[in-house]
């Protein structure tokens, strides 16, 4: 990927960080979207991924940190992260990659 592609990816990750910062956690199991007013119940993995996004981790780092945190293999961690990011996109909490 060229430098302009890396900048575009970094900008998307920054926008996603801004968007997930609208979430307010209630313990480890619940989160409120302060923009939509929607309230969600989280799995431990989902909560961990959301907090990692808020802490500024980019999408490429998520599978690695999920793998390390939960002791799973890379393919399972990648699948879990991609499924969860897809769900966040469908809820418009993070951007679709084609926008």
Query: How does pLDDT run across 11-25, given as a tens digit for each residue?
Result: 555 666 667 878 899
**What pLDDT does residue 15 have?**
66
Query: What's the pLDDT band for 97 if we cut at 50, 70, 90?
Result: low
What pLDDT, on a 0 to 100 scale, did the predictor assign at position 48?
A: 94
pLDDT at 99 over 50: no
Better-scored residue on pLDDT, 39 or 60: 39
pLDDT recorded at residue 44: 92
| DSSP string of the chain, one letter each residue | --HHHHHHHHHHHHHHHHHHTTEEEETTTEEEETTT--EEE--HHHHHHHHHHHTT--HHHHHHHHHHHHT--HHHHHHHHHHHHHHHHHTTSS--TT-
Tens of pLDDT, residue by residue over 49-96, are 999 988 889 888 999 999 999 999 999 999 999 999 999 999 888 886
């Amino acid at each position: 990927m060229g430098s302009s592609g890396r900048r575009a990816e970094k900008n998307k990750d920054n926008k996603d960080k801004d968007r997930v910062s609208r979430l307010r956690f209630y313990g480890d199991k619940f989160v409120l979207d302060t923009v939509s007013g929607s309230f969600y119940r989280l799995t431990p993995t989902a909560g961990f991924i959301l907090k990692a996004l808020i802490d500024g981790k980019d999408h490429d780092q998520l599978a690695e940190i999920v793998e390390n945190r939960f002791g799973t293999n890379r393919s399972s961690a990648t699948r879990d992260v991609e499924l969860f990011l897809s769900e966040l996109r469908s809820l418009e909490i993070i951007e679709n990659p084609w926008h």
